[in-house]
Amino acid sequence: MKHLLHTALFYFFVLQSANSQQLKSPNGKFIMEFTLQKDGTPSYSLNYKNKTVIKPSKLGLELKDDKKSLLNDFTVIDTKTTTFDETWKPVWGEVESIRNQYNELAVTLNQKGTDRQIIIRFRLFNDGLGFRYEFPAQKNLVYFVIKEERTQFVMTGDHTAFWIPGDYDTQEYDYTTSKLSEIRGLSEKAKTDNLSQTFFSPTGVQTSLMLKTADGLYINLHEAALINYSCMHLNLDDKNMIFESWLTPDEKGDKGYIQAPSHSPWRTVIVSDDAREILASKMTLNLNDPCKIEDTSWIKPIKYVGVWWEMISGKSTWSYTDEFPSVQLGVTDFSKAKPNSTHGANNANVKKYIDFAAANGFGGVLVEGWNEGWEDWFGHYKDYVFDFVTPYPDFDVKGLHEYAKSKGVKMIMHHETSGSVRNYERHMDKAYQFMKDNGYDAVKSGYVGSIIANGNNHYNQFMINHYQYAIEKAAEYKIMVNAHEAVRPTGICRTYPNLIGNEAARGTEYQAFGGSKPNHVTLLPFTRLIGGPMDYTPGIFEMDLSKFSPNNKSRVNSTIANQLALYVTLYSPLQMAADFPEHYNKFPDAFQFIKDVAVDWSESNYLEAEPGQYVTVARKAKGNNNWFIGNVNGYEPRTSNINFAFLEKGKKYTATIYADGKDANYKTNPQAYTVRKIQVTNTSKLSQLSAAGGGYAISVIENKK
């Protein structure tokens, strides 16, 4: 009770009774109400500007094989309120400094009959709500198994949702835009093929989930700080419009192994009536712990090129030879094998990319297919696929490292695990040491196919712990990680900024596997990127793949100007220029933007945004006065009206505008673009047309006196 009195001291906490408490956000726009229902079930609701966002929603966890779940029969034994306000500087990011300001309510509950305690901690920010379950150390609740987390998000209506199907193994889907009530009917269509996929419900969806209400509220549901817990999906009760948490199980159906003291990740609800504020929210990062790496001087944002799109598009191969129907590492002798003529990671080709990187100011060169095993890398229950240290005969690790070094370029390592995490963990120390010995300080890892050991999914607790282990172990070696097919990020890059990239969504590779929807890139910032940066691998200039890979009939659904804009609209400290040097050499004036664009920012201003339709953002490069603007556009041609008021007063700049050409269109005329220069100041305005599936990119460089 002492704490209840204490709370009354803060004007922003409106004390009602122990069983019902309100918490206000620092700006007063949000009110969260915690209520203990009559049967002792905890619940919460959320209001924004006097509108209900989340109706009273139950909280709790169902336990396995336990006499009683953590669902009801609770009494409130303590409440504690605090306020917090700090500003911190990320190692890299969209902005130079981040304000972390919230009011907090921690409710301690005791369960009648079991005498077990949990704490539900709520943090109310100016842009939304985070809350989590905490399991303090106690004698009646030590080890337990979660059967299901029963966190509800009760919607106020049949909102529009931008969703991908719930899946325990992959997020590599196009987004579907529909009413909540339509999800069930559309779910089959939304399930496109993937090498590893496990659906669980026709109304299951993944987070980060973007929603829009009929009266113009934007709501984003996700989680923050997913550590030692399984990844949360949402399942919709579409009669009552209630989302409920649905954790990823292991083989036995168990959804979490907990040892107190411990806590769940944060469940997050970001809300605004202005879509741009959803994109600008830093709540997910703020709910993660501060950086745990002491010396971060080795963590550096970077632009890179690579031997990659060649294989993805089918022009060349990861494999070195066509002779072996199967490979056993250490037994299969590659030294005598006849090389095929398609192996991409050969010395001469890699040197070509190193030369290109050096000539155009790229810091890194990624090479995939450099190591033995690719002849036979997925499709079987194969544990020992790669050892991550044995190169093919035509890839000279030391020689290429020396060559790259002499040109001021870093090689980027590739570790495809093909889902065999047991094998990766076995080799990890050696693999990371091998990188250090050969001058690599960043690795792209990958988890294609079903997870080995069997019974695990990409997103269950065991795998979450694996991804985290790989990040922390890499930090010991001063290695930056860009993990593909791993779980979607939840802001962990604040704590471990060596996690410089993740895929965990449908990236550019799908433009070579049949294509992605032209408005996909207007949705990624509202969904996947809420948790952290994406290695989307933009920069494709040749949209007709059959021109160089005759059997590939896929087309890239985008324009050249749209591809340029992605370097600004899809924030990442790691940006690839994914196309071939020869394609860039064909369009040098467009390529100039990729050469110029920054990868680390001191300011970001979201100028225009509507999920599925358009995103326009202006970012200021860290360390100088240059700005870069990107706009990506959905299905309909659209004119943007840009106000340059964000520029510094009194300064003059040259803006180079890379725009869709007349009649440009993602399908029929993707390569039509124009480049023009204008002078701008902070009073300038610009109207700029974007084609269907198009966009524009603008560099705004301060004039030298």
Interface positions with ligand NOJ (CB under 6 A): 308, 312, 368, 416, 446, 448, 484, 503, 509
Which 8-state DSSP code applies to residue 248? P
For residue 113, CA distances in Å to 19, 75, 91, 311, 679 come to: 19, 11, 48, 61, 74
Residue 576's SS3 state is strand
**655 alpha carbon, distance to own chain's centre:** 30
Q: Which of 165, 172, 166, 163 is nearest to 195 (CA)?
A: 172
Count of residues interacting with Ca ion (CB under 5 A): 2
63 binds, among Ca ion, ligand NOJ, none (CB under 5 to 8 A by kind): none
Q: Which of 643, 291, 296, 300 is nearest to 493 (CA)?
A: 291
Binding mask 476-495 for Ca ion (x = CB under 5 A): --------x-----------
Other CB atoms within 10 Å distance of the CB of residue 623? 11
Q: How far is the CB of 58 from ligand NOJ (least distance, A)?
A: 38
Cβ nearer to ligand NOJ, comparing 238 with 509 = 509
**Residue type at 158 in one-letter notation:** D
Which residues are paired to 317 by β-bridges? 343
Cβ nearer to Ca ion, comparing 244 with 503 = 503
Between vectors from CA 653 to CA 652 and to CA 655, what angle results, nearest 5°? 150
Cβ nearer to ligand NOJ, comparing 222 with 484 = 484
Q: Which two tokens stand for residue 316?
A: 């060349």
Is 610 a known active-site residue? Answer: no
Q: How far is the CB of 172 from Ca ion (least distance, A)?
A: 6
Distance CA 527, CA 161 (A): 11
Q: How far is the CB of 385 from ligand NOJ (least distance, A)?
A: 11
Distance CA 414, CA 523 (A): 28
- In contact, 680 and 693? CB cutoff 8 Å: no
Cβ nearer to ligand NOJ, comparing 212 with 303 = 303
Catalytic option among 509, 542, 636, 648 = 509
579 binds, among ligand NOJ, Ca ion, none (CB under 5 to 8 A by kind): none
- In contact, 168 and 200? CB cutoff 8 Å: yes
Cβ nearer to ligand NOJ, comparing 484 with 488 = 484
Q: How far is the CB of 562 from ligand NOJ (least distance, A)?
A: 20
Quick one: which segment of 189-197, 328-336, 341-349, 497-505 binds Ca ion (CB under 5 A)?
A: 497-505
Q: How far is the CB of 395 from ligand NOJ (least distance, A)?
A: 16
Q: How far is the CB of 419 from ligand NOJ (least distance, A)?
A: 11
- In contact, 420 and 452? CB cutoff 8 Å: yes
Cβ nearer to Ca ion, comparing 203 with 482 = 482
Cβ nearer to ligand NOJ, comparing 312 with 560 = 312
Cβ nearer to Ca ion, comparing 23 with 512 = 512
368 binds, among ligand NOJ, Ca ion, none (CB under 5 to 8 A by kind): ligand NOJ
Q: Which long-range contacts (CB under 8 A, 24 or more apart) does 320-327 make?
A: 320/369, 320/372, 320/374, 320/375, 320/392, 320/393, 320/394, 321/375, 322/375, 324/375, 324/376, 325/376, 326/375, 326/376, 327/372, 327/373, 327/375, 327/376
Q: How far is the CB of 459 from Ca ion (least distance, A)?
A: 14
Cβ nearer to ligand NOJ, comparing 269 with 512 = 512
Q: How far is the CB of 511 from ligand NOJ (least distance, A)?
A: 12
Cβ nearer to ligand NOJ, comparing 501 with 661 = 501
Angle between the N-to-C axes of helices 588-596 and 560-569, in degrees from 0 to 180, rounded to the nearest 10 = 0
CA atoms within 13 A on the CB side of 41: 17
Which 8-state DSSP code applies to residue 511? G
Cβ nearer to Ca ion, comparing 266 with 424 = 424
Q: Which of 157, 170, 174, 178 is nearest to 243 (CA)?
A: 157
Q: How far is the CB of 309 from Ca ion (least distance, A)?
A: 13
Residue with the CB atom nearest Ca ion in the bound state: 484
Which residues are paired to 603 by β-bridges? 620
Q: Could you report how far apart the first and last alpha carbons of the chain are, in Å?
A: 66
- In contact, 482 and 443? CB cutoff 8 Å: yes
Residue 528's SS3 state is helix
Q: How far is the CB of 82 from Ca ion (least distance, A)?
A: 42
Residue 476's SS3 state is helix
Q: Which of 390, 379, 413 is nearest to 333 (CA)?
A: 390
Which helix (H) or strand (E) element contains residue 257?
strand 256-259
Cβ nearer to Ca ion, comparing 451 with 560 = 451
DSSP β-ladder status, 302-307 and 574-576: parallel
Task: Name residues contacting Ca ion, limited to 499-538 (CB under 5 A).
Answer: 503
416 binds, among Ca ion, ligand NOJ, none (CB under 5 to 8 A by kind): ligand NOJ
162 binds, among Ca ion, ligand NOJ, none (CB under 5 to 8 A by kind): none
Q: How far is the CB of 153 from ligand NOJ (least distance, A)?
A: 31
For residue 506, CA distances in Å to 178, 183, 537 come to: 19, 20, 11
- In contact, 578 and 539? CB cutoff 8 Å: yes
542 binds, among Ca ion, ligand NOJ, none (CB under 5 to 8 A by kind): none
> Burial of 652 by CB count in 10 Å (0-12 exposed, 13-18 middle, 19+ buried)?
middle
Q: How far is the CB of 483 from Ca ion (least distance, A)?
A: 10
Other CB atoms within 10 Å distance of the CB of residue 470? 24
Chain residues binding Ca ion by CB under 5 A are 484, 503
Q: Which residues participate in catalysis according to the annotation?
A: 509
